[in-house]
Amino acid sequence: MNTGIKDTIDKLKAGLDISDAELALLVRETGENYLRECADKVRRENYSDKVFLRGLIEFTNYCKNDCYYCGIRKSNIFSQRYRLSQEQILDCCKEGYELGFRTFVLQGGEDPYFTDDRICSIVSAIKKAYPDCAVTLSTGEKEYCSYKRFFEAGAERYLLRHETADPVHYRKLHPESLSLEHRKECLFNLKSIGYQVGSGFMVGSPFQTTSNIVEDLRFLQKLQPDMIGIGPFVAHSQTPFASCPNGSLALTLRLISILRLMFPYALIPSTTALGTIHPRGRELGLKAGANVVMPNLSPVDVRKKYELYDNKICTGEESAQCRSCLEARIVSAGYKAVTDRGDVVPH
């Protein structure tokens, strides 16, 4: 490894800022051992060997948006649409609670059926039944007052990836009806309301350049999110990007390590998309600096339908199987699964 790269990694590790050119070099560099070792060290200093579990409930695959990369985009007429009832969602939480989960992540497309009243009712019901659990929402772009109502109903965390911080790249991934400006506004609104906020982007999305990635990292520095989710782009056969190549495993892992050094305190998931492009992808993500996994708690009969991309893993397993499979993977990677709420450490 050239000494320039080592110096750059050491600077990042020491909490110093580096130039865009140095960051770009690090993103492109392929000798990743030292980077990974430093990231693992920083992760252990902040979180020891803990890996937090979040129970993921995919509660609707209806979406009014038409993002070009996404399998549940509204123009995908082959998608079999479903919504879970409040009762079904609570059943998922019950099963999850028994399996030890203390965070529930409600994720869905932007589905107008789920009005603010309905979301608030679901959040309050979960908080009432499981006051010791955190509720995370991931339901897309909403107005300030909606986010505020969800927060008052008891949702403490919100996941909304910015997808790409470059407006020109953003336009290549999304139709006119969506804007990067509004997405960023949503993220800052969520922060100002008091949510623990998660953002992030896809790695290797079509047309993405190294300088786009540098801009993504710079945007995250401005936002200072508590959670950062990244995963490889994976093509979905019924989208305009069907024939685009998937994002690379090595680049995703390198970026997880860079994120760990830049955001030592962050909660970084080792994502399902990473597990989809490589059989040991999630273990490698943990070793690269990730400290969260999100086992699927959705009812088995809907899992295949929440298909953001082709060949998504964990769609045939029961929740209990998913949990024990992940626990074994965490242990094999050299870490320990913990079931507490896993709030972000003070920073």
From the CB of 307, what's the least distance to ligand FES, in Å?
11
Q: Which does 65 bind (CB under 5 to 8 A by kind): ligand 5AD, ligand FES, none?
A: ligand FES
CA distance 275 to 259: 19
Which region, judged by CB under 6 A, interacts with ligand FES, from 58-66, 149-157, 224-232, 337-345? Answer: 58-66
* Binding partner of 73, given ligand 5AD, ligand FES, none, CB within 5-8 angstroms per partner class: ligand FES
109 binds ligand FES (CB under 6 A): yes
235 near ligand FES, judged by CB under 6 A: no
Residue 202 binds which of ligand FES, ligand 5AD, none (CB < 5-8 A, kind-dependent): ligand 5AD
Q: Which is nearer to ligand FES, 108 or 342 (CB)?
A: 108
One-letter amino acid of 245: P
Nearer to ligand FES, 67 or 230 (CB): 67
Instruction: Give me the least distance between CB of 95 and ligand FES, in Å please.
Output: 26
- Residue 170 binds which entry of ligand 5AD, ligand FES, none, with Cβ cut-offs from 5 to 8 Å by kind? none
Rule CB under 6 A: say whether 312 interacts with ligand FES: no
Looking at the Cβ atoms of 63 and 322, the one nearer to ligand FES is 63
From ligand 5AD, ligand FES, none, interface partner of 109 (C-beta below 5 to 8 A by class): ligand FES
In the list 56, 72, 90, 292, the residue contacting ligand FES (rule: CB under 6 A) is 72
> What angle do the packed helices 3-13 and 33-47 form, to 10 degrees?
10
Q: Which is nearer to ligand FES, 153 or 178 (CB)?
A: 178
Q: At closest approach, how far in Å is the CB of 257 from ligand FES? A: 26
Q: How far apart are CA 247 and CA 279, in angstroms?
A: 15
314 contact, one of ligand FES, ligand 5AD, none, CB 5-8 Å limit per kind: none
By a kind-dependent CB cut-off of 5 to 8 A, residue 150 interacts, out of ligand 5AD, ligand FES, none, with none
One residue of 12, 42, 67, 286 binding ligand FES per CB under 6 A: 67
- Residue 321's contacts (CB-CB under 8 Å, 6 or more residues apart) are none
Q: By CB under 6 A, is residue 65 in contact with ligand FES?
A: yes
Please report how close the Cβ of residue 141 comes to ligand FES at its closest, in angstroms. Answer: 10
**Applying CB under 6 A, does 137 fall inside the site for ligand FES?**
no
Q: Tell me the one-letter amino acid at 341.
A: R
Binding region for ligand 5AD (CB under 6 A)? 69-70, 161, 163, 202, 231, 233-234, 236, 273, 308-309
Options 9, 51, 70, 302; binder of ligand FES; rule CB under 6 A: 70
Task: Count CB atoms within 10 A of the CB of residue 2.
Answer: 10
CA contacts within 13 A on the Cβ side of 262:
28
| Number of amino acids touching ligand FES (CB under 6 A) | 8
The 3-state secondary structure of the chain, one letter per residue = CCHHHHHHHHHHHCCCCCCHHHHHHHHHCCCCHHHHHHHHHHHHHHHCCEEEECEEEEEECCCCCCCCCCCCCCCCCCCCCCECCHHHHHHHHHHHHHCCCCEEEEEECCCCCCCHHHHHHHHHHHHHHCCCCEEEEECCCCCHHHHHHHHHHCCCEEECCCECCCHHHHHHHCCCCCCHHHHHHHHHHHHHHCCEEEEEEEECCCCCCHHHHHHHHHHHHHHCCCEEEEEECCCCCCCCCCCCCCCCHHHHHHHHHHHHHHCCCCECECCHHHHHHCCCHHHHHHHCCCCEECCECCCHHHHCCCCCCCCCCCCCCCHHHHHHHHHHHHHHCCCEEECCCCCCCCC
Could you list the residues that contact ligand FES (CB under 6 A)? 63, 65-67, 70, 72-73, 109
